[in-house]
């Protein structure tokens, strides 16, 4: 199991400096994760830092609330692809989903998928604000609109990924649509449990701690020993 290639190393906190972002890209390249997920203004920086490393550049659209105009989301996605983004994590319109305005939610997602021009689009539901019925509806609308992933959370809401939500989301979409867990994925045990429930990609800031723990266990060390010797999460 290649744990590293399941991780999107998250660099989304608003206080991060450009130096912090470059350091995060260095971690991503050294640990050979799937991608970094950076703020929109950092896409060009991350693209330059990661060219030739095999690590993808992801970014966010309509983040973190999802309530910007569809035209703004689509324009943002288009510009980010031009700047070098390989993957787009967009927040659906949470309020419209809660209102039952399925046509709006569908068209909002579809516009970003079209603007992404074939790049991977992950749709963030922000499950902390949704009922199970709304989560299922959001997943199905994302699939109908052409998204490649459904995602639990931004990491900035009151709750993050749960086993129950991953199972629910996995059951709500077809096999070709993948599930990303984000928010609270801070340990290897959490990642493995969520993977068993159906998630295939994980947003994480504690990337190094997770990967060091995995390597230590592969060497036969205990999880406690791994935690004591890791370099901490980014």
pLDDT, tens digit, 9 for 90 and up, residues 70-89:
999 999 999 999 999 999 99
Per-residue confidence (pLDDT) for residue 150, from 0 to 100: 98
Name the pTM for this structure: 0.93
Q: Is residue 135 annotated as a catalytic residue, yes or no?
A: no
Q: Which two tokens stand for residue 151?
A: 């995602």
Q: In this predicted model, what pLDDT tens digit does every residue of 115-165 receive, in sequence order? A: 999 999 999 999 999 999 999 999 999 999 999 999 999 999 999 999 999
Per-residue confidence (pLDDT) for residue 228, from 0 to 100: 33
Query: Is the pLDDT higher at 231 or at 71?
Result: 71
**Averaged pLDDT, 169-191:** 98
Report domain extents, the chain: 4-229
**Averaged pLDDT, 53-77:** 98
Per-residue confidence (pLDDT) for residue 223, from 0 to 100: 63
Q: Is residue 180 annotated as a catalytic residue, yes or no?
A: yes
Per-residue confidence (pLDDT) for residue 234, from 0 to 100: 24
For 71-109, letters b (16+ CB in 10 Å) and e give eebbbbbbebbebbbbbbbbbbbbebbeeeeeebbbebb
Q: Which of 151, 165, 212, 213 is catalytic?
A: 151
Classify domain 4-229 by CATH architecture: Alpha-Beta Barrel (3.20)
Q: Which of 8, 89, 108, 165 is catalytic?
A: 89
Q: Please report which residue ranges of the chain form alpha helices under DSSP H.
A: 18-31, 43-50, 70-83, 94-98, 102-115, 132-144, 163-172, 188-197, 207-218, 223-229
Q: Which of 122, 135, 180, 212 is catalytic?
A: 180
Q: Is residue 89 annotated as a catalytic residue, yes or no?
A: yes
pLDDT band at 226; cut points 50, 70, 90:
very low
């Amino acid at each position: 199991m290649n744990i590293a290639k399941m991780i999107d190393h998250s660099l989304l906190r608003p206080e991060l400096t450009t130096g912090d972002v470059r350091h995060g890209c260095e971690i991503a390249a050294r640990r050979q994760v799937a991608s970094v997920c950076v703020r929109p203004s950092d896409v060009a920086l991350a693209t330059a830092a990661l060219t030739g490393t095999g690590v993808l550049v992801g970014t966010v659209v309509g983040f973190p609330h999802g309530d910007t105009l569809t035209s703004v989301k689509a324009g943002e996605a288009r510009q980010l692809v031009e700047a070098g983004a390989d993957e787009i994590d967009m927040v659906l319109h949470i309020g419209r989903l809660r209102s039952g305005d399925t046509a709006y939610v569908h068209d909002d997602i579809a516009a970003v998928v079209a603007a992404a021009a074939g790049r991977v689009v992950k749709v963030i539901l922000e499950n902390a604000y949704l009922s199970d019925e709304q989560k299922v509806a959001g997943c199905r609308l994302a699939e109908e609109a052409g998204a490649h992933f459904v995602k639990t959370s931004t990491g900035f809401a009151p709750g993050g990924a749960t086993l129950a939500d991953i199972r629910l989301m996995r059951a709500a979409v077809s096999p070709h649509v993948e599930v990303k867990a984000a928010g609270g994925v801070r340990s290897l045990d959490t990642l493995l449990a969520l993977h068993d429930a159906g998630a295939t990609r994980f947003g994480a800031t504690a990337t190094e701690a997770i990967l060091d723990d995995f390597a230590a266990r592969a060497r036969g060390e205990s999880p406690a020993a791994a935690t004591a010797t890791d370099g901490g999460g980014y």
